[in-house]
Amino acid sequence: MIEIFNLNITVYDLFNNKSHSFHLTILDLDQPNTFLSLEMGSSYNYYRMFGCFNRKFKIREREPPPDVRNAFFRYTGKANQMNADQLFRYLVEVQGEEECTIKDAEQIIQNVASRRHHLIRRLNHSLELDDFFFYLFQDDLNGAIKSQVHHDMTAPLQHYFIYTGHNSYLTGNQLSSDCSEIPIVKALERGVRGIELDLWPNSGKDNIHVLHGRTLTTPVPLLKCLKAIRDHAFVKSPYPVIITLEDHLTPDLQAKVAEMVIQIFGEMLYYPQSECLDEFPSPEELKNRIILSTKPPKEYLESKNQRDTSPVGKDSFREDLLKKEKSEIGAEDHDTDERSDSDQEDEDGDTSTSNDQQSSQPEAPKYKSLIAVHAGKAKHGLKRALREESNKVSRLSLSEQEVVRAAEYYGTDLVRFTQKNILRVYPKGTRVTSSNFKPMTGWMHGAQMVAFNMQGYGKSLWMMHGMFRSNGSCGYVKKPQFLMDKGPNNEVFDPKVKLSVKKTLQVRVYMGDGWRLDFSHTHFDAYSPPDFYTKLYLVGVPADSRKKKTRILEDDWCPVWDEEFNFPLTVPELALLRIEVREYDMSEKDDFGGQTCLPVSELRTGIRSVPLYDKKGHKMKSVRLLMRFQFL
């Protein structure tokens, strides 16, 4: 005989100032196939008003929106259970998962059962409506983009956008923060494939430091950085790491660098047999390899400008430091014509050694032979550098302002240049707070290495995160074919030409949930539940860029907007969908409720779970949106 116990329980949550009522059913656990059931009733938030009385708000539990309910009953034939065959048909016909199998559907059912009904000791073969709804909200089971590498990885390196960092060793601002190997480790673990190191002699001129030259940044030994790269290079992705060196060293120290990289990287280090490559290898060929990119030593021997042998002393420019820091605050996307000292030297080919010193010392042949990607400079002007034909491949670095100007006057030349060579774009020098620029101009013109300050959190970096969620977050994204194609008369893609609409992205924002689990009940508003709304930004070529937003839903931890938006796309291959949830505040700036950015070309159609991230790009534990994506 099975004994049944029914209890009604009310629990008051002191931390979140809310109450929950439960109906508890306990069946005799000595009997087979018995279970414990915990049914939640009403939940409330209490807000203290003016220190004298409480306001009581009922917390609405999330429920399936009409589209989810209709899809469930359509595929079950109005029955209350969805079996594996019915789920399989739904996945193929609605979600567009043509590669799905019956076994995949069965595995989903078992995953849901283990997460929702782990106290029930029986094997589940079907989903109820709440189970189906639960499944749709799981981003690891029903994510909006593919999580596997699926691009062709056998094309030469210049066919890919490469996840690239700028001054990768800096922990904060560009002028006075510490240099460390820790930001390098964090970048590699996020999937960054391009690491930049500035090399300077130490005070005794017998060893190598990494630091931002002519600033107050504290140095870190090169050895530490190289070991960090070796140990973490392939934690996130097996595809090659490119170390971009800005070299301010004498030949004897260059020889020491060569010894270090050979000793530390060993077989991981790739370098060509010939002096310069005719064509870059592919990411597939370079799996688990590390490659160096810098100017060959002979470029430095031709330098005409004299530099000091070490960074300028601290006292000589403290006044300039303060001026720059004040001018930079809050200026993420404002352009000026100033540029970074170290990046400018990389472009011009200047070093820290004087002409007399350089001319009296031979170049370091071993160091030169280890450079796989040769960096060049625009010796006779940018126009000629972009148009000059060469049998060898190289890398060219341009500042963000130079790329904007080049795009205006030589847009198709930029595209044509990047079909064979690598173009690196770096932030302007006045971004002393490590802010970033808008990356789309570089990508539209085929720039492979758009170098970002990975500690410079903001909308621009969110776009960078979004682009490199593509292709399984492996750090290499295959460029659209139109950026690599040439017509019969050598014509290439022109970003200035407005094209006709190829397709329309239709986005429906159903609802959001999870904030009540990740935030205290007064985080957004001290006197009531939050008033959420969602903003959608389509980022792409100018003709495609637009923004939309949902209505504001008041006093609701689980907002159900159920609104639909259309985005016509002329170049869908480059488009990003940036999503941001805000909490409306009548008297102050709206509060941040989470963000994400998704590559449109990677979107999976159907009803999908979209996890949100904080301002630093860290995934929130519980916050999700339920959305539908369709292409018309």
Active site amino acids:
166, 212
DSSP code, position 247: E
Instruction: Give the phi and the psi of residue 247 in degrees, each rounded to 5.
Output: -100, 120
How many angstroms separate the CA atoms of 293 and 371, rounded? Answer: 6
The set of residues, in sequence order, having a beta carbon less than 8 Å from that of 226 and lying 6+ positions away, is 260, 261, 264, 265
Hey, is 282 helix, strand or coil? coil
Distance of CA 130 to the CA centre of its chain: 33
User: DSSP letter string over 291-354?
Assistant: EEEE--HHHHHT--S---SSPPPGGGGHHHHHHHHHHHTT-TT---S-B-HHHHHHHHT--SS-
- Are the CB atoms for 565 and 505 separated by under 8 Å? no
Give the burial class of 579: count Cβ atoms within 10 A of its Cβ; 0-12 exposed, 13-18 middle, 19 or more buried.
Answer: buried
Of 427, 428, 429, 478, nearest in space to 450 by CA: 427
Half-sphere exposure of 607 (CA within 13 A, CB side): 24
Sheet with strand 18-27: strands edge to edge? 4-13, 18-27, 36-49, 53-59
How many angstroms separate the CA atoms of 353 and 309, rounded? Answer: 5
- Are the CB atoms for 375 and 294 separated by under 8 Å? yes
Measured in residues, the chain has a length of: 632
Strand 53-59 relative to strand 36-49: parallel, antiparallel, unpaired?
Answer: antiparallel
DSSP element (H, E) containing 462: helix 459-467
Measured between alpha carbons, how far is residue 231 from residues 123, 184, 226, 288 in Å?
A: 43, 11, 9, 12
**Looking at this protein, which amino acid is placed at residue 590?**
D
